[in-house]
Amino acid sequence: MGRILTVDDELDMLALLKMIIEGYSEHQVTATNNPIEAVELLDKEPFDLVITDLKMPGMDGMELLAAARKKDEDALVMVITAYGSLESAEEAMAQGAYDFITKPFRKEQILLAIDKAMRWREMVRQNKELKKRLGDEKS
Amino acid sequence: MVAAIHKLKKWLTGKRRAPEKPVSLAPPPALLERYRRYKRLLAANSAILTMVTDLQVKMNEGFLFDMHYVRNACQRLGQEVEAMVAALAAMSGGRYQALEEARRLVEAKITRELAGAVLQPGPLVLPLAEVKEGQFFGAKAEKLGDLVRLGLPVPKGFAVSAYAQKLFFEQSGLEDFSREQIRRSHIRDLESLKIAGADIKERVMAEELPPELSQALDQELAALGPRVAVRSSALQEDSLFSFAGQFETLLNVPREKVKEAYKEVLASQFTPRVLYYCHTSGFAYQELAMGVAVMEMVDAATAGVLYTADPRQGGEATIINAVCGLGSLAVGGVVEPDIYRVENEEIVAREVGEKSHMHALAPEGGVLDLETPPDRRGACLDEQQVLALHNLGLTLEKHFGLPQDIEWALTTGGKLYLLQARPLRISRQLKTEYLPPKIKGAEVLLENGTIASRGAGAGPVHLLADDRLQEVPQGAVLVTRRALPEYGVVVGRVAAMICEAGSPTSHLATVLREAGVPAIFGAKGAFSLLKPGAMVTVDAYYGNVYAGRRGELLKPPPGDMVLHQSRAWKVLERVLKHITPLHLLDPRGENFRAENCTTYHDMTRFAHEKAMTELFHISAPDPEEDGTRRLSSHLPLEIHIIDLGGGLAPEAKNLAVVKPEHLRSRPMVAYWRGVEAVGWRGPKPVDLAGFMSVVMNAATDVNIRERLHEKNFAIIAADYLNLSNRLGFHFATIEAFLGVPEESYVSLTFYGGGAELERRRRRVRFLAKVLKHLDFRVELKEDSISGRIDGYDAPTLEEKLELLGRLMMVSKQLDMSMLSEESVEQHYRDFFAEIQETKK
């Protein structure tokens, strides 16, 4: 079970994401429509994955991505892009987003993408731990 | 007489001289314009059908989308429909005004659906029993109203409408105040949003309610007990709930403090998240206005929640959570509740929770958090009570048709109350929906089609013959060669459909998806591979047809209740009712009229059909000679060509006389192949009577000279042919458009002739027989015939055109030799025998 932060200014999408993720997986979702608050939430509690829309008023997804990566270099961020804006998805990936998904998407798509991200997160964690153990053994 | 016959013979067979005056080779602008309109109309037609398909797929195949998507899609769709209707109007010189009127009506309906119900003035307060959907009391209060009317035990109470909040905010100046606070806060400064929220709350609490609302509340409260519960009932609870959280619910409120509690509930919505939302989308009552339910407080000994299905697995079970005292601790994980599971009227599992704390009514109002006395820590429901709850749950589920999530309370006296009910959100694990692309061990009969309408169905095969739709039996798997819109009339009767042609964006596919009939299109060979009467299963998830009945495919797919609860989905469902249904199935039908178009789909079909008619009239008034070139071949045929674009090779651009090898128009090239294959044979040998009948008819026809001098015109484009053919004494028009299968057709009209009526009739009967054999839909009237074929891809239609070219050359002056009914048969056999011969 992981903790996911979803950020989208479209209330319907936000509601759906929460319903779908909590309904079809074991993950817990914190949802906010306000990217500024999202940054604050990242300070308060750890999240395994951030799913954010790219186009939002006040602060866009790229800014949020940068803020999340600044707080934690391993932060996993998945961006949601509008249909036909592949450039912005590429740009987000170049800036360190883990994955992107294009609207509208099927629920299986987002669930599989989350699954993949969570497994990646676990691998990174184990890898770090092993490296640390190796380092400890050497010294 | 001899001279006359000689002259006549010369007319019938001889070459005529080309006009010598210089002509412009550019096509007449009016013709070109009409053709361009037609092409625009076709582009719109195809865009509309593609968009409609996309909307249906998004709605039915598990997609997540928001209102932004729905609005955008409807806007683009609306533009294309408008363009299509305008193109038809332009082609027809402004006819079909009724279609434009119908379009505006539908557009207005869609706009209204997208805007949602606009908050209307209405009653401020109503007893729960009178609260119904559509009166702006919020979903929670409306559902309670339903329960009261069902005679179920709901505490006495009333509801305050969202309109009451609007009135309160307008009259007290709160609306302007809130707007100003929101405006002054900064979108990038969370603290400023918090301050704005606190200021608005403070002001809400300080303002007096409008006198009419205050009086109405007093009146209703007088009928209730001394303590009540005040619950929020937001209009957009589902959308807001995910991020704004549950709005305030105040329990055990003394009657005299209800107005304050009401204001507190209203104020609870001004969280930073809601204010951020208002910042970006404006302060809209539509989204935020809140109804409130006020109900007598139940002094509960035990309370909790009840699910009429297992929310994790969706199985047939009732699950009851129960705690001591008030139900406010039953969910949320603060205490461990008792859990009861009922299956088949039996308690199959009982877990007694720890229930360390309980909520009880405080004497001064509000709720007390107490340690649960030791004697109340055991199971808080006995078997009888569990089963009573279970039965109540079943009653609700049966009434609403969906699994329910119910809040309940039981008094010390053992009286049961329902406090709230809503649809249960059932989640299912992804893997339960998995179906293999191919079932192991099953016999696959067909696997080459594309999915036109998702789902699976089984039944005996019925091969559609001669479009006799009335013979299609109930529950059959209907197999057709084409995907004609007319077939839509059988959707209520068939289990599934397989078409050898057609695409997912055809009219028929849209109708099938609308009706939920599984269908596979483009399944070449289905007609010969599937045997009539044989049981088959159509798997329109992966595009296979299996022998026999495959039960594993036929289980109804788990409904995606989660997705279907989203506002965007519900709006799309409502909007599509004005878009996808097709009522104008048959162009020959009585109802095929502009004023009967009530959906975008109707309009699209109507406009496309009429546009073909309008385009056909392209040749009605003989085009002037300007813009024409002569087609010169070894045949004594004089054809004047007008190229609307791409019909001739580039090197022929400046040639006034072109050769068959210059032809690039796909349909013309195909037709001409047939013409040349038969060649010029001169009139068939005729008996004297036949010949005399021509002569006599010609002699009495004052227009004979004119008619024999009429020219043959071919208006062509890369994908289009409109050939007006005057061969001998008859008149024929052949029209063809070769694009995607949905747009492509070949049509023909043919009438007249030189011989007496009966012989002419025999000729058209011969033509009808051949055309029917070629799958044309044929209509006969006296000595005229019209035929049409569509629903096929371009290569198939090219073959038909070639045969049509042959047929036209063969039937030239054939009327004269139509001595008896037997000659109809004879010529029919000869025609196909000759084709067989050439193939060898």
B638 CA to chain A: closest CA distance, Å?
53
What are the pLDDT digits (tens) for B121-134? 899 999 999 999 88
| Contacts for A61 with CB less than 8 Å, ≥ 6 apart | A7, A35, A52, A53, A54, A55, A79, A80, A92
Q: Which amino acid is at B59?
A: M
Chain B hits for A15, CB-CB cut-off 8 Å, are 238-243, 566-567
Structure tokens at B321: 């959570």
What are the pLDDT digits (tens) for A39-66? 999 999 899 999 999 988 888 899 999 9
Mean pLDDT value of segment A96-103? 93
The CATH number for A11's domain is 3.40.50.2300
Residue B282 confidence (pLDDT) above 80: no
**A107 with B241: Cβ contact below 8 A:** no
What was the ipTM of the complex prediction? 0.85
Q: Are B481 and B500 in contact (CB under 8 A)?
A: yes
Mean pLDDT value of segment B276-299? 81
Q: Over chain B, what is the mean pLDDT?
A: 86
Q: How many domains does chain A have?
A: 1
**B187 with A17: Cβ contact below 8 A:** no
Which residue intervals of B594-736 are DSSP H helices? 600-616, 666-678, 688-700, 704-709
The answer to pTM > 0.95 is no
What are the pLDDT digits (tens) for B392-406? 999 999 998 888 889
Residues 14-43 of A with CB under 8 A from B: 14-20, 22-24, 31-34, 36-37, 40
**A32 with B62: Cβ contact below 8 A:** no
Q: Can you say whether residue B77 is alpha, beta or left, with left for phi > 0 and alpha for psi between -120 and 50 degrees?
A: alpha
- Tell me what pLDDT residue B538 has: 95
Please name the member of A10, A14, A107 whose beta carbon is closest to the beta carbon of B68: A10
Chain A hits for B190, CB-CB cut-off 8 Å, are 34, 36-37, 40
Q: Which domain holds residue A66?
A: 3-138
Q: Which amino acid is at B327?
A: G
Please name the member of B63, B67, B189 whose beta carbon is closest to the beta carbon of A12: B67
Q: Are B580 and B510 in contact (CB under 8 A)?
A: yes
Alpha-carbon torsion, ordered B180, B184, B185, B188, to 10 deg: 130
Chain A contact present for B425, CB below 8 A: yes
A21 CA to chain B: closest CA distance, Å?
10
Chain A hits for B560, CB-CB cut-off 8 Å, are 107
Model confidence at B239, pLDDT cuts 50, 70, 90, reads low
Please name the member of A12, A23, A105 whose beta carbon is closest to the beta carbon of B427: A23
Residue B147 confidence (pLDDT) above 80: yes
Alpha-carbon torsion, ordered A20, A24, A30, A32, to 10 deg: -10
Q: Are B505 and B742 in contact (CB under 8 A)?
A: yes
The tokens 């209730």 sit on which residue? B224
Q: Are B346 and B372 in contact (CB under 8 A)?
A: no
Determine phi and psi for A109, rounding to 5 degrees.
-60, -50
**A36 with B61: Cβ contact below 8 A:** no
What are the pLDDT digits (tens) for B635-685? 877 888 989 999 999 999 888 899 999 999 999 999 999 999 988 776 544
Chain A hits for B426, CB-CB cut-off 8 Å, are 23
**B190 with A37: Cβ contact below 8 A:** yes
Give dist(CA B271, CA B279) in Å, integer: 12
Mutate to test the interface with B, among A1, A5, A8, A16 (most CBs of B within 10 A): A16
| Contacts for B137 with CB less than 8 Å, ≥ 6 apart | B126, B131, B145, B159, B160, B161, B162, B233, B291, B293
Q: What share of chain B is helix, strand, coil (3-state, %, to 5)?
A: 45, 20, 35
Decide which of B148 and A138 is more confident. B148
Within chain B, what is the greatest distance between any pair of CA atoms?
129
**A20 with B241: Cβ contact below 8 A:** no
Give dist(CA B818, CA B683) in Å, integer: 12
Give dist(CA B763, CA B727) in Å, integer: 14
A132 CA to chain B: closest CA distance, Å?
36
Give dist(CA B460, CA B537) in Å, integer: 9
Residues 62-101 of B with CB under 8 A from A: 62-69
Chain A contact present for B680, CB below 8 A: no
